[in-house]
Structure 1
Amino acid sequence: MVALEKAPEASTGLALRIENLSHGFALDGQHLPVLERVSLDVAPGEFVALLGPSGCGKSTLLRLVAGLEPADSGRLLADGEPITGPDPSRVVVFQDPTLYPWRRVWDNVALGLEAQGLLKTHAARVDEALDKVGLSPFARAYPRQLSGGMAQRVALARALVNQPRLLILDEPLGKLDSLTRITMQKELIDLWQRQGYTALLVTHDVEEALLLANRVIVFSDRPAKIQAQLSIDRPYPRHRDDPYLVDLRRQILGLLGLGESW
């Protein structure tokens, strides 16, 4: 098990275990392998980033961890219990905020509690989640009145209202402009440090992975296998020009086949 560096002091996160996981899809009558014998342990409260070539199976792995579909073979365990389907303790934040345009911000954030029949007794959680992401003044706004970064904050609040123990992040900042993305990276770390959940992030941005994660997992091309695991021995906040991070970025780009050209 990899030791954590500067993880939240009081972790509420769950432990994730992926054992010998393989998965694929049917394509034109043939089996297309996507993941091949992937094994990974994620400690409670750890922030792990997944990097790899586009289409190698990273997002597929997140869907399996979320319980949105069953794996072909292998095991997925949350706190030692098999993952057999979705659960409010494991919440996904996608690249697209997917907000309902006819619902105000407060009502979009309340969707999870409403679906579970908990809104009447736990409505205060919605206000707390909006406060955590700095959007309390916009509770009555509609999605069309928000910037891209604000809309993504609403998606984060919608996840946090369920008090997740594992936050599954599938390129949540991928569509943001560079300045908003830098701001949201800091906010993601602040939320993780305050809340203590386990975080699993898919990103194509090597620098982003190094700035956010305790550990970076580098996958091969499809069918994806783990090529390398790198622990990031730096406290937060991290700096892009840190020579240690610059060297790790060079190593990771080499593993991804980009070498010295970048």
Structure 2
Amino acid sequence: MVAAVAAAAQNDRGLRAAIDFHGVSHRYELEGQALPVLHDVNLAVNPGEFVALVGPSGCGKSTLLRLAAGLDQPSRGAVLTEGAPVQKPDPSRVLVFQDPTLFPWRTVRDNVALGPQAQGTLAASSARIDDALKLVKLEGFAGAYPHQLSGGMAQRAALARALVNNPRVLLLDEPLGRLDSLTRLSMQQELLSLWRQAGYAVILVTHDVEEALLLSQRVVVLSERPASIKAVVEVDLPYPRHRDDSRIVKLRQQVLETLGFGG
């Protein structure tokens, strides 16, 4: 069944999509009852594209990221990467969570080195690890431990741990959600800078509509659970963007109205 759906998706959209959700529905079992989470989601994210997902809390945004990462398999439909079914986790698709989840007994550098160590390439990856630390501006904190970092620095370390794998797809599950407002603004710009330098595809889950509009090229608005796509808002504006730009304000109102918060 997955092979047939994959073939159909290839015919429809070709092999270029970094991540392609093709007719994806998903449900969980909760206390013996089926809990539908996603319904017939069709979304192709191209290489190098930045896409944001917004929607009501609990609608299934994080589930889409888990499916893209290969941590779960859809109940129906297929998730493809470059035309091939996503069947398991792979370093080319990295998921960054809201919590940095750093190992407290390892230094920042040793946390960043987890991927190469797990792949048996640690000895050959020293330069890659150093480059990842430089990208997130933590080269001066390589020997620090997680408890010595601020919240923003810990999230940078988590990003470096993802980037050291040279991913083609970066999956971000509210990575800035627990930061204070000033740190969050700074990290938004750093995320944007990293994406523009590296050129990977990004799928960002966020509850902040303004953040989605400032960072992404498309904002995908999801419905209540089981989530389907209500609207796709194109953000065809140059970077850097400013929250008081009248075009951003207008798009923000459009997204909020789609979410049911008009007026």
TM-score by length of 1: 0.93
Counterpart of 1:37 in structure 2 is 40
- Residue 84 (structure 1) aligned with residue 87 (structure 2): yes
Counterpart of 1:9 in structure 2 is none
Counterpart of 1:50 in structure 2 is 53
- Residue 157 (structure 1) aligned with residue 160 (structure 2): yes
Matched residue count: 248
Q: Cα distance, 1:49 vs. partner?
A: 0.1
1:1-262 → structure 2 map (5 Å cutoff): 15-260=18-263
SS in 2 for 1:121: coil
Runs (4+) of structure 1 exceeding 2 A deviation are none
The superposition leaves residues 138-196 of structure 1 with CA deviations (integer Å, 9 ceiling, x where unpaired) of: 00001111000000000000000000000000000000000000000000000000000
The superposition leaves residues 35-60 of structure 1 with CA deviations (integer Å, 9 ceiling, x where unpaired) of: 00000011110000000000000000
> Take 1:26 and 1:122, find their aligned partners in 2: how far apart are those partners?
41
User: Unmatched 5+ residue regions in structure 1?
Assistant: 1-12
Q: Cα distance, 1:62 vs. partner?
A: 0.4
Counterpart of 2:4 in structure 1 is none
Q: Which amino acid aligns with 1:225?
A: S
Identity score, percent: 63
> Take 1:16 and 1:29, find their aligned partners in 2: how far apart are those partners?
31
The superposition leaves residues 227-255 of structure 1 with CA deviations (integer Å, 9 ceiling, x where unpaired) of: 00011010111000010110111111111
- Are the equivalent residues in 2 in contact too, given 1:14–1:45 (CA < 8 A)? no
Q: Cα distance, 1:213 vs. partner?
A: 0.2
Higher relative contact order (CA 8 A, sep 6+): 1
The superposition leaves residues 182-225 of structure 1 with CA deviations (integer Å, 9 ceiling, x where unpaired) of: 00000000000000000000000000000000000000000000
TM-score by length of 2: 0.93
- Are the equivalent residues in 1 in contact too, given 2:222–2:230 (CA < 8 A)? yes
User: Unmatched 5+ residue regions in structure 2?
Assistant: 1-15
